[in-house]
Amino acid sequence: MSFVIAFAFVGVLLGGLAGYASLRRPDAHREAFASAHGYFWNIAPRLPFALVAAECLGRLLPPDVVSAWLGAGTGVSGVLIGSGVGAALPGGPMLAFPLAIALMRAGAGPEALVALITAWALVGINRTLLFEVPLLGMRFAIWRLALCVPLPIVAGAVAGALVGLGWWSG
């Protein structure tokens, strides 16, 4: 069902932007297709393997270990472990999100998963080395990373509070 929602959402935005481009900037069509084509061939060869890997890794994870470390009842320690795992997770969303769903199925709690995804999104060490350091400088990258350390814990704590208020039913 969420696929349908996602597709509809993207479709509506795409229609809006393409319509705007037709009216105001017709040359944007060619640019948009060119850059989408580039990204597509970047992702297409990897995606099937990434999905198979994440599916198999998820089945290999022992559910008792996952729920003991990241389960719904683990509270602060689950958020801290989730933040650590997320910060250490290499690669792009192709691996992170399928792995997150595998962890969810294996019993990880929502607050630990929020911390994990936040930490992964903020740290992304290969992204920092390939883009942030060369384009913005070492000083910027180090300070930015340093002040991002507490943020996954903030997000995890807010998620935990929301879950405590009854925002999560499964």
Partner 1 sequence: MARTQLQTEDEASTGEPKRRVTRTTWFFVVLAVASGGGLAWRDGPGAFVDALGSAGMLLVYIGPVIAAALLLGGYVHALLPHDRVARWLGPESGWRGYGIAVLGGVVTPAGPFAVFPILMSLRQAGAGFPVCVVYLTAWAVLGAQRTVIWELPFLGAHFVALRLVASLPVPIVAGLLAHAVARRVSP
Residues 80-109 that bind partner 1 (CB under 8 A): 91-98, 100-101, 104
Give the chain's end-to-end CA distance (angstroms, integer).
Answer: 16
CB of 108 to partner 1, least distance (A): 11
CB of 69 to partner 1, least distance (A): 19
* Position 125 contacts partner 1 (CB under 8 A): no
* Position 77 contacts partner 1 (CB under 8 A): no
Pick from 165, 156, 168: which is nearest to 74 by CA? Answer: 156
Map the footprint of partner 1 across residues 5-64, applying CB under 8 A.
Answer: 5-7, 9-11, 13-14, 17-18, 20-21, 25, 28, 31-36, 38-41, 43, 45-57, 59-60
Pick from 150, 149, 67, 61: which is nearest to 110 by CA? Answer: 67
Q: What are the percentages of helix, strand and coil residues in the chain, rounded to 5? A: 85, 0, 15
CB of 68 to partner 1, least distance (A): 20
Q: Which residues contact 163 (CB under 8 A, 6 or more apart)?
A: 72, 109, 110, 111
Cβ nearer to partner 1, comparing 88 with 158? 158
